[in-house]
Structure 1
Amino acid sequence: MSATRRKLLIDTDAGVDDAQAILMALQAPDVDVIGITCVMGNADVEQVGLNVLRILKVVDRLDIPVFIGCNEPLLGDKKPTSDYHGLDGFGDAPDEDAPDKSHLQSEHAVMALVRIAKEHEGEVTLACIGPLTNVAMAIRMDSKFGSRFKGCYIMGGNHEGKGNMTTSAEFNFYSDPEAAYVVLNQLKTPITIVTWETCEKHSLPWDWFKEFQSSQTPCGIFLSKIEKNVVSNFYQPFFNQGIDKQYEVVDQYAVACAIFDDVILDEAAVYASVELRSDLTRGQMVVDWSNVTGNACNVRIVKVINMDLILEILKKIVS
């Protein structure tokens, strides 16, 4: 682990997996989360902001600024939110003492992204764990935006053509394909992507998750509460059919790659873009594995993750 402190800026749509990822960053000993920007995805954007405040309250970090951003894709073709995380993105788990919207910043998330990148030029890593609308808009606002970061880590897309929203598109890229296209092709900083297939191949044993969820620490109780309906509505039907379903870890991997050394065991530098026109494959990340286009590599795809280290990192969230 680096001896120098790392500055991290998180762009999120704050579902349950985002909550674990954000807590991971907040508890990392050498990481300063300098801001969290919110985008529509698992819920409408204002609800996403309220979800982030709930996360921050658990670890007494409401001092971190939270900014509300885009609530529609670049072209306005907003998709229905996934019901995987419930209507509010947090499993519809009530919290009577949740912080209200007065804790949210008045500055728009896109403006905040542009400003913070300028103020900390060359010092900040950007972690994107939701649709990429805010980031694409920031690129349009400031042509030098991307070049101001140390790097960008994205959970999104796919490198084997497998989707989780359509037959060929992953949720974050499917939610705003144009934004994903802009970011991959125009963000002038090293981009590391943890794709859907990589996450799927690194799912965790259910017995491990049951132990993880049983923690009675404040973070453990909070995570168990917001994930209760996900377990009942999504995982339990598999077990009822005798299917050994593993626990899916997604956004956590992107943030872990951004802030911890030695998490990535294998990767591939390639050129990748996003399909925008096909009815069958819109939103799919298309990877030029054979360098047919002759384009320079623009992304690093994470293929193998150090699971021993990941399990250690995840356990610390609830310990």
Structure 2
Amino acid sequence: MAPLIVDTDPGVDDAYALALAAHAPEVDLRAVTAVFGNVDLPTTTTNARRLLGMLGRGDVPLGVGADRPLIHPTTGRAADVHGDDGLGGVAERFGPLGPEPAGRALDVIARVLGTSTEPVVLAAIGPLTDVALLLATRPDLAERIGRLVVMGGSVGVGGNVSPAAEFNVWSDPEAARRVLVEERVPTTLVPLDLTHEVTVDRAWLDALAASGPVGEALAATRTVYARGEGLGEDRVPIHDAVALLEAIVPGTLATVPLEVEVDTSLGPGRGTVHADRRGRAPGGRTVDVALPDGTDVDAVRAALLERLGTHM
């Protein structure tokens, strides 16, 4: 089983993602780290504890990460999408509380990377602040990351927090640029271009709710989340779960190697990810960008329901 770390800002779709990771037979969930993002850090930390407790993974170390971006402060959060509690207004359905935090996120991640005898998969499904700090302060551990899977960005369909920017990247563009442009860790980027295609409908959510307590709690988040995402009542995206499925089963999503750039200006384009489709420049760093072309979105949707519906 591949060792897996999930850096997350729960978050409704983060809850789906953690449910996927908790008992996937292909991976060994070695740590979860909470970062600011959809809601503030104390809430994302509590939500991570709720999810680990409900999923029966109290054995997984929980690290507490960054509570703000690297450079420019932002007060933007996504309570309008995820609810004030981060879990669609139904956080009380998730629990009991799992483990107390085991320390700082950077220390928890470094411990896993430093002791693993196999390359570790790092799934980053919130702002990339923790990952950027790790790579900046512990460059010796970069080679221990076999693959970084990032949910973030939009390379052609427009943004969800501004006309062009996606929330995770927009929350800390400097961190995103460090990770996606300056580093050399093998990276798969799962943008809105794909996650907006792998949406789920009412029948899918009803089937999930009927599967058991975990599925029922996840499906109960739909009211606030569907309204906040603004894609229509019968079209709910679960962005982070799509990225986690790719982290668990590499090759689930079709990818194209592209050079990317992140707009770190303070203007209206801040947080935009630009993908260069003209071809790879000699020596240029590419990331594998997951796109709808070549991806069987119906199969992805079905796989998510099958895995989430067989929990407990």
Per the normalisation by structure 2, the TM-score is 0.90
Secondary structure of the residue aligned to 1:95 is helix
The whole-number CA distance in structure 2 between the counterparts of 1:125 and 1:153 is 8
Does residue 258 in structure 1 map to residue 247 in structure 2? Answer: yes
Q: Which runs of 5+ in 2 are unaligned?
A: none
The whole-number CA distance in structure 1 between the counterparts of 2:182 and 2:267 is 24
- The answer for the alignment partner of 1:313 in structure 2 is 304
Number of paired residues? 306
- The answer for the alignment partner of 1:57 in structure 2 is 53
**1:6–1:124 contact (8 Å) kept in structure 2:** yes
Q: 1:247 aligns with which of 225, 236, 260?
A: 236
Task: Identify if the C-alpha distance between structure 1 residues 171 and 160 changes in structure 2 by more than 3 Å, giving closer, same or farther.
Answer: same
Alignment of 1:1-319 (within 5 A): 5-82=1-78, 83-95=80-92, 98-99=95-96, 103-120=99-116, 122-160=118-156, 162-212=158-208, 214-231=209-226, 233-234=227-228, 238=232, 245-264=234-253, 266-277=254-265, 279-291=267-279, 294-304=282-292, 305-306=295-296, 307-319=298-310
Shift of 1:78: 1.9
The whole-number CA distance in structure 2 between the counterparts of 1:6 and 1:76 is 35
The whole-number CA distance in structure 2 between the counterparts of 1:161 and 1:197 is 6
Shift of 1:176: 0.4
Q: Which runs of 5+ in 1 are unaligned?
A: 240-244
Shift of 1:296: 1.8
The whole-number CA distance in structure 2 between the counterparts of 1:124 and 1:7 is 5
The whole-number CA distance in structure 2 between the counterparts of 1:211 and 1:97 is 19
Deviations 1:283-312 (A, max 9, x none): 011112114865524200011333314413
Q: Which deviates more, 33-42 or 301-310?
A: 301-310
Per the normalisation by structure 1, the TM-score is 0.88
Shift of 1:204: 3.0
Task: Identify if the C-alpha distance between structure 1 residues 309 and 277 changes in structure 2 by more than 3 Å, giving closer, same or farther.
Answer: closer
**1:42–1:88 contact (8 Å) kept in structure 2:** no
**2:61–2:102 contact (8 Å) kept in structure 1:** no
**2:62–2:100 contact (8 Å) kept in structure 1:** yes
The whole-number CA distance in structure 1 between the counterparts of 2:64 and 2:286 is 29
**2:54–2:97 contact (8 Å) kept in structure 1:** no
- The answer for the alignment partner of 1:242 in structure 2 is none
Secondary structure of the residue aligned to 1:46 is helix
